[in-house]
Each structure stands twice: as C-alpha cells, then as structure tokens.
Amino acid sequence: MRTRVLTILALLGVLAIAVTGCAAAPPAATAPGETVVTWAMWGSPAELATHQSVADAYMAENPDVTIEILSEPWGDYFTKMQALWAGGDGSVIPDILFLWPTPSYAAEGVLENLQPFIDRDGYNVDDYWPDLLESAKYDGDVYGFPRDIGLEVLYYNKDVFDEVGVPYPDETWTWADLETAANQLKVVDDTGRVSRYGLGMEGGKYMLWVLQNHGALLDDYRNPSACTLDQPEAVQGLEFFANLMATDAAMTSDNLNQAGGDAAVFQAGQVAMIIQNASRVSAFNAAEMNYDVSVVPIPDGGRRAASAGGAAWTMSAGSDNKEDAWHFLQWLQSTNGGQRIYTASGEIFPALQSTAMSDAFLNPDNPPANRQAFLTEGLNATVGRFGYFPEWGYLSGNFVSPHINQIWTGDLTPADAAAAVCEGVNQYLQDEDFPK
Amino acid sequence: MAVEPLAAEQMRPTRRVRRRIGSIVLQVGLLAGSFFMVMPFLWMLSTSLKLPKEIFKYPPIWIPTEIAWSNYRDTLTALPFDRFYLNSAIVSVSSTLIQVLAAALAAFAFARLRFKGRNPLFLLYLATLMIPFQVTMIPNFILISRVLGWYNTYQALIFPTSFSAFSVFLLRQFFSSLPMELDEAARMDGASTLRIWWQIILPLSGPALAALSIFSFLGSWNSFLWPLVVTASNEMRTIPVGLSAFQGEYNTAWNLLMAGSVIALVPVLAVYMVGQNWFQRGITLSGMGGR
C-alpha cells in the first residue's frame, strides 16, 4: 500500500516535470548575434495586424533586427508594463512602448530621456503639430513621440440631415448653428421619450468648449499657480454644453455611456452628430455609413482649440538595447516609415504634418470626404485639456472630474461646479507648494 | 382521545392544499430567480449573433433581424482560440491536481498530526489570506521572471496559483470533523502515516475534495491578472486574457467579445452537465453554497 501512495506521488512529480518540459521552449528562438527590439502596445486584433505590418516593413529594411511585438489588452496594459519594469529583467522589459500620459511616467524614472538622441542625430521635431510634443515632455526634455493627435472633428450622418432637410455643417458654423441644427434633428416620440438626439459627445470633452471660448482650467498647464475655470469665459463654455444636454439637443453623459458610447449610438442612428477624434473612421467605414466630417463649430469671436495630445512611443530606461531601439523609434515616427503605414490603415490621424499632407491621409478612396477638416483642426491644436506635470492625474481625478460630472447629471450648475473645482484645485496647489 | 384523530383527519386536506400553495409559490419564486440568472446568458447569446448597429438599440432587440453567424467566424479567425483552450485546459487541470494534493497533505498534517508549533504555524499560514494578491504580484513576478526564468511558460501559469491557504483551511476543517479513533485504530493495525492519509482520511473526504476541486478549477479557468502578467505571446495565453483583446481603448467589439464568451463557455457547461450531481453533492455537503 505504501508503495502505491509513493507511486502516485512520483507520478504527479513526473506530471509536473512533463509540464515544465513541454513549456521550456521560449516563444521566439533567435539566431545568435541577431538583435531583438521588444515593442509593446495595446490594441484590438485588427490594430495588432497593422502593428505587425509596421514591424514587417522595418525588418524588411533592416534584416539584422528582429522586432518582437508584445500586444496587451488596453484595460490592463499599464499594470503589465509596471510589473515588467518592477521585475527589472532587461530581456523582458519592452525597449519601445506605447504610453500615456508620458510626463507622469517620466517623473517615475522608468523612461529614457530622448533629448540627447534627438540633439545628436538632428531628428526633426518641427514636423509635429503645434504644441503636440508638449504632451510628451518632462522637465523641458522630450520623453516620447506621440503617434497620433487626438483632435476632434464633428461627424455627421448625411442620411439624417437629408431626411430632416438640415444643411450640412461647414467651417462657418457657430455654436448657435450647432444648437439650432441639433434641436431640428432630434426626434421626440408621443410618450416624451427622445428616440434621436442631435448630438452625442462624451462629457469628458467639455474642455473643448471652454478653450474655444478663450477659457482655461489652469493659468499654466506646466507649472500652475491658480485655477481659472471659474472665470466667465470658462463658465460660458460649460453652460453651452450643459444647456445642450438639458434641452435634449445632446445626449447626457450617463445616457451615452449606458447606450454603449458615441460610436454605437451614431451607428444605431440614435444621434445625428458626434464630436470625436479620428479613431471612429475605420468603424464607420466598415459599417458603410453615409457620413462626413466637419470642423467643430466655434462661438462668435471664439477660436479653434483641438486637443494637442496623443499616446506616445517611449523608450524604457531599463532597455538593454537603446541604440537599436532609437533607430527603430526614429523610423517609426517618420513619414517614410511607420507613420505612413498607420495613417494609410485609416486608424489614426498622424502626429506628423508631412504625413497628414501626404497621399497616405488625403487618399480620397474612403470616407470621410472632407479630410481638410482634420488639417484645419491640426494647425490650431493647442494645450489645455490636461496638465503636463506628474500630479495632474491626482488633481484631475480628485478635484476636477467629480464636480464636473455633477453638471451633466444636473446636480450642480456650471457656475457652482466651477467654483467647487477651483476651491479644491487652489487648495491643493497651495498645499503642494505650486508654482514650483 | 377520540376527538383528536378526527380533528387531524379534517386538517389533512387543508394541510395538503396549503402545502400545494406553498409549492406553487416556491416554484414561481424559483422560476423568477432562474429567469434573472439565465437572462445575461441569453443576452450574451443574442449579442453574439447581432450586427454592431443593433447591439445597443432601445428598446432592446432579443432576436437579431439578421443573424450574423459571421461573428463566430471573425472571432475564431481574429484569435487562436484552439491554443487558448489548450492552454486553459492544461493550466486549470494541472493547477487543480497540484492544489488538491498539496492542500490535502498540508491539511492532514494540521488536522491529524501532533507536532510542536502546529497551531501557531497554521495561524501564520492563515494570516497570508489577509494579504491581497496585488501586494504579492510584483514580488511573485520578480521570483518567476528573474530568479527562475519562467516568464512566458506553463510553469509560471501553474505553480504560483497552485498553493493556497484557503484550500488548506477548507480541508483542515473537514478533516478535523472525522473521529480521531479512526487514525488510532489504523495505527494499531500497523498503518503508516501516509497510509492513514491515503486509505482512511481521503476516502472519507470525497465531497470536500470534490468541492475544492471545483472551486480551484473555476478559479484557475477564470483567472485573469496573473496569466496576463506572466505571458507575452498568444502561444501561452489563456481564454480570459485572449478574450480581453476585444475590449479596446475607444471601441469594444461586443458582438465578437460575446461570440468568444459563448465559445469559451461551452466546454465548462459541458463539464457541468456531466458532473452536475457530483458538484451539487460537493457544494451542499461542504456548506459552500452561495450563502
């Protein structure tokens, strides 16, 4: 009997060894002397296919380098990267990785300062849209290259506009035109339920309206000394948005989330317009929608204020192969390299002006027809949506968003919410000894 | 004396009626309960056959106007599901086997053997339950990746999840409830300690072992964060990690995500159908039902 027990234990031991053995082969065996650059990003299976074609194109030009892709789901990408950095194993730490927000990570010391590389090789940083590189700077140095720019345009459903007989939006549209059109396009059924809204726009994008109206959240986005959201021009921007929601011209934020987000409601015909970045284009084209885009309407006397920000390619400070990583990074962020492939795939609006002005973007085969709208917004891209200091995430999450969200739910008036935001923000800035 | 049986006689039909009403109420309640339990599954099935534009329609559409079987084809071609399945199966089965075996041995020691420092040791072990996984994740990762060089291997997926204080606790409580006389009698007859464990304790603990197996299998099958952290390629990923690829920064492919979830659920459902009685007995006897 005793032997039987021992036999079973031995068998389990064998099982354990067998499992160990059959897994021992590493995923990608590399030939000796070959250079490997590990490249990490998040993305859907479709986006991964584009990343793979970018890697293939680079490897075709550089046969002695192998690009190893590490693709992680968006939701837990950052947890995974932090685990890899903390592990400190240079062979598994990604050399080049996609990241947002760059300044916070740069402050933690996990990113390589790219400025010495830029200065040494004369990489052209002037090709980026105005203010865009600001989002990837820390302490005056560049720590990452934004891949794309998240500027918004107005998407509109041409079928709905034709049905109601509203003229298509153009660059002359003001806030008043937008409001009038949204009210004409909305449909309220007999029970009072709104079956179609004029506009669908994420509540979190409110700063677009504030900035257009010459308002701002902070007096300085790199080293703030005071909150300015309670100034009249800023409050007017909040009021414009709140009023659209209160009159059912625009879907409320909660409603929009529950209905699956702006892409879902636009495709389902539940809204006639959305204001969003270029990321929606491929989905709407795949669904064969009859739509186009226009610049975002501005108030009388206002200015265009596209968001100068986007996730950036960065280099790990713990990379074991910085020269090869830098060579790849430079190629990735050039019009003849990665930027063209991403742009041609229709997934992004490129960070480089030269790429946007090339046929990769202005290619007329697919909607939207009015690609000029993106260029117009790009040339007017500006800072103002987020702070470029490491404490921004905490500040925004604790003192800004909670009060702003109460505007969209109707619990606070824009003026009261702005006052509450500024009270919290100013106190925090004082406690943390800003300006530094 | 003579009156009471008569009264009981008259009572009987009313009691039967009352019992029947009670039974109807119970059935209706259970039906309502099961309706709410089944609804998410039906929604999952329905969404997995919808085109994107119908997913969030209001009022909800339960039967898609156009049945999109292509969702299943797209899901299967977008990701290597066969590989995910294989990985999930290998990891869940191995980790369950190791966990039950290791926990049974440890629980036996804590419940049936007398040695110095037994109870303090057990308390110390139990105290590890208080440390959340997030705290131990990074040290565990450093151990696996840098010390053992197991990054992106099956060992990394299996071993760290195979030892848990909870399973030892569960089995120890069950083992302690068996009479000590059994061990003493066996020892008088010349049985060794291991033999007592194998021939006396384990056969008497069927339901507890079954319950532990189920919970550890389910835990391992559904586990997400650890497999995500220690794997780098689709060759090593399990189903939950693979599925999460459909949830993007801006867009979630709900129809594909749901089709993938249906595909992932089928084998588990099949296992449950086959072992239904075992599972129910295990859960009722061990008192681990949803209370």
Taking only the tens place, the pLDDT of each residue in B216-268 is 888 899 899 999 999 998 899 999 999 988 887 777 788 899 999 998 888 78
Q: Does B57 touch chain A (CB under 8 A)?
A: yes
Can you tell me the ipTM of this complex?
A: 0.76
Question: In this predicted model, what pLDDT tens digit does every residue of B182-222 receive, in sequence order?
Answer: 999 999 999 999 999 999 999 998 888 888 888 888 889 98
Q: Does A72 touch chain B (CB under 8 A)?
A: yes
Q: Which residue has the tokens 């009572």?
A: B11
Among the residue ranges A298-312, B120-134, B246-260, the one predicted with the least confidence is B246-260
A248 or B286: which leads in pLDDT: A248
3-state SS, one letter per residue, for B35-93: HHHHHHHHHHHHHCCCCHHHHCCCCCCCCCCCCCCHHHHHHHHHCCHHHHHHHHHHHHH
**Tokens linked to A124:** 């052209």
Q: Does B155 touch chain A (CB under 8 A)?
A: yes
β-strands A65-72, A35-42 pairing: parallel
β-strands A35-42, A96-99 pairing: parallel
pLDDT value, residue A10 = 52
* Residue of chain A with shortest Cα separation from B195: A2
Q: Do B245 and A76 touch (CB under 8 A)?
A: no
Does A33 have pLDDT greater than 70?
no
* Residue of chain B with shortest Cα separation from A83: B138
- How far away is chain B from the Cα of A201, in angstroms, using its nearest Cα? 13
Q: Does A26 touch chain B (CB under 8 A)?
A: yes
The pLDDT-based confidence of B286 (bands split at 50, 70, 90) is low
Name the residue type at position A376.
T
The pLDDT-based confidence of A112 (bands split at 50, 70, 90) is very high
Phi, psi angles (nearest 5°) of residue A36: -115, 130
Spell out which residues of chain A touch residue B98, defining contact as CB-CB under 8 Å.
12, 16
Name which of B78, B51, B49, B83 is nearest B246 in CA terms.
Answer: B78
Question: In this predicted model, what pLDDT tens digit does every residue of A407-434 receive, in sequence order?
Answer: 999 999 999 999 999 999 999 999 999 9
pLDDT value, residue B201 = 93
Q: List B residues 12-51 in contact with A (Cβ-Cβ < 8 A).
A: none
Q: Does B11 touch chain A (CB under 8 A)?
A: no
Q: Choose among A23, A74, A259: nearest Cβ to B58.
A: A259
* Residue of chain A with shortest Cα separation from B242: A73
pLDDT value, residue A3 = 53
Q: Do B141 and A87 touch (CB under 8 A)?
A: yes
Q: Which ranges in chain A are annotated with CATH 3.40.190.10?
A: 35-150+309-379, 153-305+391-431
Q: Do A43 and B52 touch (CB under 8 A)?
A: no
- Specify the pTM: 0.81
**CB-based burial, A171-193: b 16+ in 10 Å, e otherwise:** eebebeebbebbeebbbeeeeee
Does A104 have pLDDT greater than 80?
yes
Q: Does B140 touch chain A (CB under 8 A)?
A: no
Q: Do A260 and B254 touch (CB under 8 A)?
A: yes
> How much is the CA Rg of chain B, to the nearest whole Å?
26
pLDDT value, residue A389 = 87
**Tokens linked to A233:** 């021009």
- How far away is chain A from the Cα of B44, in angstroms, using its nearest Cα? 15
Q: In the A/B pair of chains, how many CB contacts fall below 8 A?
A: 132
Does B86 have pLDDT greater than 70?
yes
Task: Name which of A5, A19, A280 to mutate to probe chain B: the one with the most chain B Cβ atoms within 10 A of its Cβ.
Answer: A19
A183 and A247 Cβ atoms separated by less than 8 Å: yes
pLDDT value, residue A258 = 85
* Residue of chain A with shortest Cα separation from B53: A268
Q: List A residues 163-202 in contact with B (Cβ-Cβ < 8 A).
A: none
A172 or A47: which leads in pLDDT: A172
Q: Choose among A12, A45, A92: nearest Cβ to B151.
A: A92
Spell out which residues of chain A touch residue B163, defining contact as CB-CB under 8 Å.
none
Beta bridge pairs of residue A154: A275, A294
Q: Do B195 and A87 touch (CB under 8 A)?
A: no
Task: Name A415's Cβ contacts closer than 8 Å, sequence gap at least 6.
Answer: A230, A235, A239
Q: Choose among A80, A87, A287: nearest Cβ to B52.
A: A287
* Residue of chain A with shortest Cα separation from B198: A5
* Residue of chain A with shortest Cα separation from B237: A72
B164 or B14: which leads in pLDDT: B164
Name the residue type at position B274.
V
DSSP string, A262-288: HHHHHHTTSEEEEEE-GGGHHHHHHTT
3-state SS, one letter per residue, for A34-86: CEEEEEEEECCHHHHHHHHHHHHHHHHHCCCEEEEEEEECHHHHHHHHHHHHH
Spell out which residues of chain A touch residue B233, defining contact as CB-CB under 8 Å.
27-28, 70
Q: List A residues 402-421 in contact with B (Cβ-Cβ < 8 A).
A: none
**Tokens linked to A89:** 């194993």
pLDDT value, residue B248 = 77
pLDDT value, residue B210 = 85
What homologous superfamily does CATH list for A153-305+391-431?
Periplasmic binding protein-like II (3.40.190.10)
Q: Does A290 touch chain B (CB under 8 A)?
A: no
Does B5 have pLDDT greater than 80?
no
* Residue of chain B with shortest Cα separation from A258: B56
Q: Does B259 touch chain A (CB under 8 A)?
A: no
A95 and A322 Cβ atoms separated by less than 8 Å: yes
**Residue B128, CB half-sphere, CA atoms under 13 Å: how many?**
13
DSSP string, chain B: --HHHHHHHHHHHHHHHHHHHHHHHHHHHHHHHHHHHHHHHHHHHHHTTS-HHHHT-SSPPSS-SS--THHHHHHHHHS-HHHHHHHHHHHHHHHHHHHHHHHHHHHHHHHH---TTHHHHHHHHHHGGGS-HHHHHHHHHHIIIIIS--TTSHHHHHGGGS--HHHHHHHHHHHHTS-HHHHHHHHHTT--HHHHIIIIIHHHTHHHHHHHHHHHHHHHHH--HHHHHH--STTT--HHHHHGGGB-SS-B-HHHHHHHHHHHHHHHHHHHHHHHHHHHHHHHHTT-S--
Burial of A390 (0-12, 13-18, 19+ CB in 10 A): middle
Burial of A332 (0-12, 13-18, 19+ CB in 10 A): buried
- Interatomic CA distance for residues B76 and B82, integer angstroms: 9
- Interatomic CA distance for residues B272 and A97, integer angstroms: 42
State in Å, rounded, how far the first CA of chain B is from the last one.
Answer: 45
Beta bridge pairs of residue A68: A38
CA–chain centroid gap for B173, Å, is: 19
- How far away is chain A from the Cα of B138, in angstroms, using its nearest Cα? 6
Q: Do A268 and B57 touch (CB under 8 A)?
A: yes
**Tokens linked to A78:** 């950052």
pLDDT value, residue A8 = 53
B126 and B164 Cβ atoms separated by less than 8 Å: no
A296 and A206 Cβ atoms separated by less than 8 Å: no
Spell out which residues of chain A touch residue B220, defining contact as CB-CB under 8 Å.
none
Domain ranges of chain B: 3-47, 74-285
- Interatomic CA distance for residues B208 and B103, integer angstroms: 11
Q: Choose among B154, B228, B253: nearest Cβ to A80.
A: B228
Task: Name A226's Cβ contacts closer than 8 Å, sequence gap at least 6.
Answer: A218, A219, A422, A426, A429
The pLDDT-based confidence of B1 (bands split at 50, 70, 90) is very low
pLDDT value, residue B9 = 54
pLDDT mean over B166-185: 91
CATH topology of domain B74-285: MetI-like fold (1.10.3720)
B154 and A19 Cβ atoms separated by less than 8 Å: yes
Q: Is the four-CA dihedral A361, A364, A367, A369 of positive or negative sign?
A: positive
pLDDT mean over B161-166: 90
A262 and A271 Cβ atoms separated by less than 8 Å: yes
Phi, psi angles (nearest 5°) of residue A111: -110, 150
Longest dimension (CA), chain A: 92
Q: Does A73 touch chain B (CB under 8 A)?
A: yes
Q: Does A3 touch chain B (CB under 8 A)?
A: no
Q: Do A287 and B56 touch (CB under 8 A)?
A: no
pLDDT value, residue B290 = 41
- The whole-chain average pLDDT of chain A stands at 90
pLDDT value, residue A97 = 96
- How far away is chain A from the Cα of B206, in angstroms, using its nearest Cα? 17
Q: Does B251 touch chain A (CB under 8 A)?
A: yes
Does A22 have pLDDT greater than 60?
no
Q: Choose among A5, A23, A27: nearest Cβ to B232.
A: A27
* Residue of chain A with shortest Cα separation from B141: A87
Beta bridge pairs of residue A230: none
CATH topology of domain A35-150+309-379: D-Maltodextrin-Binding Protein; domain 2 (3.40.190)
Does B10 have pLDDT greater than 70?
no
B267 or A376: which leads in pLDDT: A376
**CB-based burial, A363-388: b 16+ in 10 Å, e otherwise:** eeeebbebbebbbbbbebbbbbbbbb
